[in-house]
Amino acid sequence: MSTDESAPPTNFIHEIIEEHNRTGRFDGRVQTRFPPEPNGYLHIGHAKSICLNFGTAKKFGGRCNLRFDDTNPTKEETEYVNSIMEDVRWLGFEWDGLHYASDYFEQLYQWAELLIQKGLAYVDSSTLEEMRGQRGTVSEAGAASPFRDRPAEESLDLFRRMRAGEFPDGAHVLRAKIDMAHPNFLMRDPVLYRIRHAHHHRTGDAWCLYPMYDFAHGYSDSIERVTHSICTLEFENHRPLYDWLIDSVEIYHPQQIEFARLNLTYTVMSKRKLLELVQGGIVSGWDDPRMPTIAGIRRRGYTPEAMRAFCDEIGVTRFNGLTNLVVLENAVRNDLNKRAPRFLAVLKPLKVVLTNYPEDLVEHLDAVNNPEDPAAGSRQVPFSRELYIERDDFMENPPKQFFRLSPGREVRLRYGYLMTCQEAVKDASGEIVELRCTYDPETRGGNAPDGRKVKSTIHWVSASEAVTAEVRLYDHLFSVENVAEIPEDQDWKTFLNPNSLVTVADAKLEPALAALQPGDRCQFERLGYFCVDKDSAAGQPVFNRTVTLKDEWAKIQKKGG
Ligand code: ATP
Ligand code: MG
Q: What is the pLDDT along the chain (561 residues), one digit of tens a residue?
A: 334 455 666 799 999 999 999 999 999 999 999 999 999 999 999 999 999 999 999 999 999 999 999 999 988 899 999 999 999 999 999 999 999 999 999 999 999 999 999 999 999 999 999 999 999 999 999 999 999 999 999 999 999 999 999 999 999 999 999 999 999 999 999 999 999 999 999 999 999 999 999 999 999 999 999 999 999 999 999 999 999 999 999 999 999 999 999 999 999 999 999 999 999 999 999 999 999 999 999 999 999 999 999 999 999 999 999 999 999 999 999 999 999 999 999 999 999 999 999 999 999 999 999 999 999 999 999 999 999 999 999 999 999 999 999 999 999 999 999 999 999 999 999 999 999 999 999 999 999 999 999 999 999 999 999 999 999 999 999 999 999 999 999 999 999 999 999 999 999 999 999 999 999 999 999 999 999 999 999 999 999 999 999 865 556 556 653
For residue 232, the ligand 1 atom closest to its alpha carbon is: 20
* Ligand 1 pocket test, candidate residues 46, 72, 239, 277, most atoms within 8 A of CB: 46
For residue 261, the ligand 1 atom closest to its alpha carbon is: 28
With respect to residue 511, please indicate whether it lies within any of the assigned structural domains: yes
With respect to residue 7, please indicate whether it lies within any of the assigned structural domains: no
Amino acid 3: pLDDT: 42
User: Under a CB-based contact definition with an 8 Å cutoff, are residues 380 and 362 in contact?
Assistant: no
User: What b/e readout covers 32-50, taking b as 16+ CB neighbours within 10 angstroms?
Assistant: bbbbbbbbbbbbbbbbbbb
With respect to residue 517, please indicate whether it lies within any of the assigned structural domains: yes
With respect to residue 307, please indicate whether it lies within any of the assigned structural domains: yes
For residue 38, the ligand 1 atom closest to its alpha carbon is: 10
Task: Please tell me the number of Cα atoms within 13 Å of 101 on its side-chain side.
Answer: 29
Residue 95 per-residue DSSP state: -
Amino acid 76: pLDDT: 81
Same domain, 401 and 302: no
261 C-beta closer than 6 A to ligand 1: yes
Q: How many domains does the chain have?
A: 3
Same domain, 43 and 189: yes
Give the number of other Cβ atoms within 10 Å of residue 209's Cβ.
Answer: 22
With respect to residue 320, please indicate whether it lies within any of the assigned structural domains: yes
Whose CA is closest to atom 16 on ligand 1? Answer: 46
Which residue, of 459, 483, 511, is where some domain finishes? 459
Q: What is the dihedral of CA 165, 168, 170, 171, to 10 degrees?
A: -80
With respect to residue 287, please indicate whether it lies within any of the assigned structural domains: yes
Whose CA is closest to atom 14 on ligand 1? Answer: 36
* Kind and range of the H or E run holding 228: strand 228-232
Give the number of other Cβ atoms within 10 Å of residue 270's Cβ.
Answer: 16
User: What b/e readout covers 176-200, taking b as 16+ CB neighbours within 10 angstroms?
Assistant: bbbebebeeebbbbbbbbbbeeeeb
Whose CA is closest to atom 29 on ligand 1? Answer: 261
Whose CA is closest to atom 26 on ligand 1? Answer: 45
* Ligand 1 pocket test, candidate residues 11, 48, 49, most atoms within 8 A of CB: 49
User: Under a CB-based contact definition with an 8 Å cutoff, are residues 289 and 302 in contact?
Assistant: no
| 527: CATH | 2.40.240.10
- Distance in Å, CA 43 to ligand 1 centroid: 8
Amino acid 559: pLDDT: 61
The closest ligand to the CA of 38 turns out to be 1
Q: Which of 549, 510, 531, 521 is nearest to 416 (CA)?
A: 510
Q: Which of 271, 385, 404, 521 is catalytic?
A: 271
49 C-beta closer than 6 A to ligand 1: yes
Same domain, 84 and 206: yes
Q: Which of 37, 86, 434, 470 is catalytic?
A: 37
Which residue, of 235, 259, 283, is where some domain finishes? 259
Same domain, 36 and 180: yes
- Distance in Å, CA 89 to ligand 2 centroid: 21
C-alpha distances out from residue 434 to 90, 355, 422, 479, 504, Å: 46, 12, 11, 36, 20
292 C-beta closer than 6 A to ligand 1: no
Give the number of other Cβ atoms within 10 Å of residue 230's Cβ.
Answer: 22
Amino acid 272: pLDDT: 94
Same domain, 331 and 416: no
Same domain, 91 and 234: yes
Residue 320 per-residue DSSP state: -
Owning domain of residue 443: 345-459
Taking the model in full, what pTM does it have?
0.94
Same domain, 368 and 408: yes
Same domain, 247 and 119: yes
User: Under a CB-based contact definition with an 8 Å cutoff, are residues 415 and 366 in contact?
Assistant: yes
With respect to residue 2, please indicate whether it lies within any of the assigned structural domains: no
User: Under a CB-based contact definition with an 8 Å cutoff, are residues 483 and 268 in contact?
Assistant: yes
Q: Which of 29, 196, 261, 273 is catalytic?
A: 261
Which residue, of 203, 227, 259, is where some domain finishes? 259
48 C-beta closer than 6 A to ligand 1: yes
| 246: CATH | 3.40.50.620
* Ligand 1 pocket test, candidate residues 232, 235, 242, most atoms within 8 A of CB: 232
**CB burial class (10 A; 0-12, 13-18, 19+) of residue 31?**
buried
Whose CA is closest to atom 15 on ligand 1? Answer: 36
* Backbone angles phi and psi of 237, in degrees to 5: -80, 0
Residue 264 per-residue DSSP state: B
36 C-beta closer than 6 A to ligand 1: yes
What one-letter code names the amino acid at 355?
Answer: T
The closest ligand to the CA of 294 turns out to be 1
C-alpha distances out from residue 510 to 115, 229, 347, 520, Å: 71, 52, 12, 16
232 C-beta closer than 6 A to ligand 1: yes
The C-alpha atoms of residue 280 and residue 401 are separated, in whole angstroms, by 45
- Distance in Å, CA 441 to ligand 1 centroid: 61
Is position 261 annotated as part of the catalytic site?
yes
With respect to residue 265, please indicate whether it lies within any of the assigned structural domains: no
* Kind and range of the H or E run holding 157: helix 152-163
User: Under a CB-based contact definition with an 8 Å cutoff, are residues 63 and 93 in contact?
Assistant: no
Same domain, 45 and 151: yes
User: Under a CB-based contact definition with an 8 Å cutoff, are residues 413 and 420 in contact?
Assistant: no
The C-alpha atoms of residue 531 and residue 246 are separated, in whole angstroms, by 49
The closest ligand to the CA of 41 turns out to be 1
The C-alpha atoms of residue 155 and residue 161 are separated, in whole angstroms, by 10
Same domain, 390 and 326: no
Is position 118 annotated as part of the catalytic site?
no
Whose CA is closest to atom 13 on ligand 1? Answer: 36
The C-alpha atoms of residue 40 and residue 43 are separated, in whole angstroms, by 9
Is position 485 annotated as part of the catalytic site?
no
The C-alpha atoms of residue 374 and residue 227 are separated, in whole angstroms, by 47
35 C-beta closer than 6 A to ligand 1: yes
142 C-beta closer than 6 A to ligand 1: no
- Distance in Å, CA 512 to ligand 1 centroid: 42
Same domain, 355 and 245: no
269 C-beta closer than 6 A to ligand 1: yes
User: Under a CB-based contact definition with an 8 Å cutoff, are residues 461 and 510 in contact?
Assistant: yes
The C-alpha atoms of residue 547 and residue 524 are separated, in whole angstroms, by 11
Q: Which of 83, 96, 106 is nearest to 53 (CA)?
A: 96
Same domain, 84 and 32: yes
- Distance in Å, CA 229 to ligand 1 centroid: 13
The C-alpha atoms of residue 242 and residue 82 are separated, in whole angstroms, by 29
The closest ligand to the CA of 39 turns out to be 1
